[in-house]
Amino acid sequence: MEVQYEIQGGDFSTAGQASSEIKKLLKQFNIDPQIVRRIAIALFEAEVNVVAHAYKGIMKADIEPESIRVIVEDEGPGIEDIEKAMEEGFSTASEAVRQMGFGAGMGLPNIKKNVDEMILTSVPGRGTCLKMKVLF
């Protein structure tokens, strides 16, 4: 079952809506609540990344009986050094974004911690694509 939601870059006030919708769907399935929680946290972090860094993005989820796969794709500046971006505490977020309580450099490491598979690719100047998979 596929669903997809748009994410608006820069709109911090509504950040979290896409991930929250997917979480709501998962709650209606017989999945360990703690797994749902992990997915919710990972998706929220991914959504905030789009809001904080990109112009716009899309979150696509494919739910199957054994797993969920989610692709978060954005149009934005992309990531210059993916290895560095994965380090805890590293962030390129602007001061304004940090002031809002985001950009602590924990987003990507936190996603990695909460999902079973994660593939991050990026074309600097074009955008970023994050693929995640969580087994039920």
Partner 1 sequence: MKQYTYTHAIQIDADKCIGCSHCMRVCPTEAIRIDGGHARIQSVRCVDCGECFRVCPQRAIYVKDDGLASVKSSGYRIALVPSIFIGQFPSDYSATQILEAVRQIGFDDVFEVEQAVDMVKSEYRLLENEIDQRPAITSFCPAVVRLIQVLYPSLTDQIIRLKAPHDIAALYLRKSKERQGIRPSEIYIYYITPCAAKIVAARDPVAEKESPIDGTIDMKMIYNLVSKIIREDKNSGLHKSYANMSPDSVCWSLSGTEKKYFSGRSLAIDGMNNVIEFLDKLESGQLAHIDFLEMRACDQGCAGGILCPCNRFLAVERLEQRQKKLEKLKLQNEGKVTNMLFEFSEELHRELQIDAVEPREGLQLDEDIGKAIQKMKHIKKLMTFLPGFDCGACGAPSCRALAEDIAQDRANISYCVFVQRVMEKNYKLSPEQSFSVIEKIWGQNRLNKYTDENES
Site string for partner 1, 47-76 (x = CB under 8 A): ----------------xxxx----------
123 near partner 1, rule: CB under 8 A = no
Q: How far is the CB of 29 from partner 1 (least distance, A)?
A: 5
Check residue 136 for interaction with partner 1 (CB under 8 A): yes
CA triple 127-70-58, angle to 5 deg: 45
Examine residue 16 and tell whether it contacts partner 1 (CB under 8 A).
yes
Residue 33 in the binding site for partner 1 (CB under 8 A): yes
